[in-house]
Amino acid sequence: MINVLRRAAVDFTCDGFFYPAGTTVMANFWAVHNDPSVWPDPEKFDPGRFLNEDGSATCERPKRILSFSLGKRKCPAETQAVMVIFLYITSILQNFRVLPEDGVTIDIGDENDRLPSKTKYRLRFIPRRK
């Protein structure tokens, strides 16, 4: 993740430290993404943090995720990246039937089970049009 330096436009105080206008500042993304008061057990991979209480996927990105930076200088391609991923997956599903290998049944769980399975599956991509 690239972090852009910023310059303070006005004098300010943060956590008891005074910063005069013109001071070069940089957001500490690591600290934000690893703050245990926001993310319990921050070093543990836990996709459940991004689910609603009923287990459904949340569409809102938490304000404490800065993967595309923040403010006026945030990544200008964030929206494009999300659209490209959407179009990529949509294109695959438009052009192919995605099925498990012959003789294999994939249990997708109940409708509230949104976490991906740790089981690896081999998939077949069958063209929809010839």
Q: Which residues define the annotated binding site for heme? A: 75
Amino acid (one-letter) located at 31: A
Residues 6+ apart with CB under 8 A from 5: 24, 25, 26
